[in-house]
Amino acid sequence: MSLTLNEASAPIFLRGLRVLSGLIDKAEASGLGEAAIMEARLAPDMKPFPDQIRMASFSARSCVARLTGQAWPKTDDSEATLVELKATIDLSIAFIEATDPAAFEGGETRRIELRFPGVELNFEGVGYLTSFAIQNFYFHVSMAYAILRNAGVELGKRDYLGQLALI
């Protein structure tokens, strides 16, 4: 049995996005004030919690879009509440769920270029997914988890793992 590009990406991103939504639910229920959550970070030079949600959400939907050759829904990155952050997650989930699995065909070799200040990265689709996109996505999911945990939100490993795909 071989794994398709769709199977290697969409379910992983959907699971992680649902984890993020659950983390926000736990943060809301924790009694920690929303302002404190929105400013929480692990280190002074680190992006705060909302940026971790934004970057994870963007990473997921932009990866799917790049692999399938379509545009992704944009946000203005101005979410100022936990409700707005959840809406960004929901937007990403809806976009990925609406992407036809057949659209991934040929994405393995699709040329993907990323440009950051001072850096240009060139990939073929499968290399982009396996060496950059998934790792970048889970970095931000992990940081969101760690920030909340550090802020006192009661979280455990199951909160991070999310829904397991049991056979």
Rounded to whole angstroms, how far apart are CA atoms 20 and 160?
Answer: 8
Ordered by start, the domain boundaries in the chain are 5-161
Answer whether 114's CB lies under 8 Å from 125's CB: no
Q: Which fold has domain 5-161?
A: Four Helix Bundle (Hemerythrin (Met), subunit A) (1.20.120)
Q: What is the pTM of this model?
A: 0.94
Rounded to whole angstroms, how far apart are CA atoms 72 and 77?
Answer: 14
pLDDT tens for the 167 residues of the chain, in order = 689 999 999 999 999 999 999 999 999 999 999 999 999 999 999 999 999 999 999 999 999 999 999 999 999 999 999 999 999 999 999 999 999 999 999 999 999 999 999 999 999 999 999 999 999 999 999 999 999 999 999 999 999 998 887 65
Radius of gyration in angstroms for the set of CA atoms belonging to the chain, rounded to a whole number: 16
